[in-house]
Structure formats: structure tokens, C-alpha cells
Amino acid sequence: MAEDSRDSETPRKKFDLVDESDRGAAIVGAALLEDSLVSMLKEKMLLDAMSQKQVKDIFDLSGPLSNFSAKISIAFAFGFIDKTTFDDLQIVRKLRNKFAHSSGKLSFDDGEVKSQINNMHCFKLAVQEFPRRFSPGSDGEPDEWKMRADGYIRLNKAAFSIAVKDLSMRIKFSSMIRDLKIHGLPLPEAFAMFKDVYDS
């Protein structure tokens, strides 16, 4: 099977959605997270007992895990992701649908979109990572490229990009971290950012 070219990208580049349009960032971000769920679910499956076709059929168009919503629900139902990750993924899924089906220009700075992303746990954490940031004011849209040249970054889209990257990490490690707790093992210092998963 040919390797997906996206898998060969560095993690930083793979999740850097800032140069995408807002619509592109929402749709590509959701696709990256769906890919992360597929990878994690395949790791949990008994692949040695299945043919490649059987595995493919599970995720294909008419398969039981063919859509983003089903993958999120199954991952949560089997305890592979925690409730916070589940909730954040549902917000990303709804945002993807909103951007994909909007006929007008939609932005991460629109009131309804901003309200949704502000409810994301990973977005709230990501906002803290940007000391030089800007948000469009009521007096109009600033020149984004000029602001970026001056070292500023557009807050909502940039924080969403970081939130997507962090969500992918949570998908990858949630199950392992919860297993540590079940077996009475301490959370390693390297995973301190996932303390809420360990404590849940």
C-alpha cells in the first residue's frame, strides 16, 4: 500500500493550518483528526486476524466506521479517548460541517464560530501559547499579512491549529494514560499536559 504523503510530513508542518483559509483550516483540521482516529483504532484492532479487505471495509463508504461521527463515538464508547477529547472532537466535527456547507464567507472570528471554539478545552490551552496575537476588531479586518510580518498571529485560527495538533496527541495517548491510572502507575512528567485525562 502506498504511504499517504501526509504521514511523511513533520508533525509541525502537518498540523500548521495557519496558512490555510479559515474554511480550509476547519476542513483540513477535521480530516487530520479523523486520520488520527483511524490510526488509533487500527492499532486497537486484531489486524492479524483480518484481511486487508476486511479492515478496508470497516472504514469504507458503507462501513460501520465510514464517517467522522462514528469514529468519535466508537473511540469514546471503548474508552480509547476521554470525555474532554470526545467533546472537543464533536465541536471540530460540527465546525467542519458548518464551514463545508456555508455558502457565504465564514471566519473563525464570526460570533457563532468563536463561541464554539471557545468551548474547546484544547483551544483554551492553545490561546495561552500566543504572546503576540491579534483579533479583528469591530472597526474592520486588519491586514493579516502585514500583522504577521510584524510578528503577530491571528489568534483564533492559530489557536485552532494548535488545538488540532494537541487533540491528535490526546487521541494517540488517552488510552495509554488511563491504563496507567487503572494499574496504579504515576503519570510520567513528560505527559503532565494530559493530567486531566489521568484524573478523569
CATH number, domain containing residue 100: 1.20.120.330
Query: 164 pLDDT exceeds 90?
Result: yes
| pTM confidence score | 0.81
Q: Residue 191: what pLDDT?
A: 87
Are the beta carbons of 191 and 38 closer than 8 angstroms? no
Q: Do the domain assignments include residue 152?
A: yes
Are the beta carbons of 53 and 197 closer than 8 angstroms? no
Classify 186 as helix, strand or coil: coil
Structure-block grid coordinates of residue 22: 479559515
The boundaries of the domain holding residue 112 are 18-199
Q: Do the domain assignments include residue 5?
A: no
Query: 43 pLDDT exceeds 70?
Result: yes
Closest of 26, 39, 119, 118 to residue 71, by C-alpha: 39
pLDDT band for position 3 (50/70/90)? very low
Q: Do the domain assignments include residue 177?
A: yes
Tens digits of residue pLDDT in 5-25: 444 443 444 557 877 889 999
Tens digits of residue pLDDT in 110-125: 999 999 999 999 999 8
Q: Do the domain assignments include residue 9?
A: no
Domain count for the chain, please give it. Answer: 1
More confident residue, 149 or 109: 109
Q: Do the domain assignments include residue 10?
A: no
